[in-house]
Chains A and B, each alone.
Chain A
């Protein structure tokens, strides 16, 4: 069964850092581009970043560029995202998702991990 499981969320102070991770199972992670999204309470879904299969290419939303860093470790079936310089508006549920071979659509998502930025 294809599965993505996020971890690493929690409460962090403004200006702080946190790493969220996405562990894949049931498929060969190295064959898929992986994306991160977030969804704040009562808000829609916001795309954040993606990383190509061999880490050669990454791309970020303007709202997180320079503050968030996506990386992957195919041998460990893991994709991480380091969140830095966190702001209250970064408070959200963070999701990873697998991109289908047809570009930019997602056939498998994780359940999400909550990140709360507050003093």
Chain B
């Protein structure tokens, strides 16, 4: 199975700042990485797939980069609604696997 190592576990930032979340795969997953946001009382929201493709309806302050084994989600100019849990998921092979999550909190 492809192990996904996500960092940091916790992240605190203020509105207006930029943050980055990293995801490292245990083997080459080419470009096939997705990012999701999870908030209490809401369903998981797809943000990015294929490493850098922005899902329809997602603000352009979200961006993804990387290939092979190393990927990054960057959120520029944080908005209050951006705080929550973020997960990466490799979609290159089965079993699909996820990172352990990053909790983005308000500083």
- Residues of chain A touching chain B, judged by Cβ–Cβ distance below 8 Å, are 4, 43-47, 59, 61-62, 95, 97, 100, 102-111
Contact = CB atoms under 8 A, between A and B. Distances in A.
A97 B34 CA distance: 14
Contacts of A97: 44
Interface string B26-60: 00000010101000010110100110000100000
Q: Which 8 A-B pairs have the closest CB atoms?
A: A104-B91, A47-B96, A109-B44, A45-B98, A109-B43, A44-B100, A105-B49, A105-B34
A43 B97 CA distance: 13
Contacts, number: 47
Interface of B: 32, 34, 36, 41, 43-44, 46, 49-50, 55, 87, 89, 91, 94-101
Given A59-B94, A62-B95, A106 B100 contact: no
A44 B43 contact: no
Contact of B98 (A44, A100, A103, A109): A44
Contacts of A62: 95
A100 B32 CA distance: 14
B49 A102 contact: yes
Given A44-B87, A44-B100, A105 B46 contact: yes
Contacts of B41: 111
Contacts of B96: 47, 104
A87 to B, nearest CB: 18
Contact of A44 (B44, B55, B99): B99
B87 A102 contact: no
A108 B49 contact: no
Given A46-B98, A105-B34, A110 B43 contact: yes
Contacts of B89: 45, 105
A108 B43 contact: yes
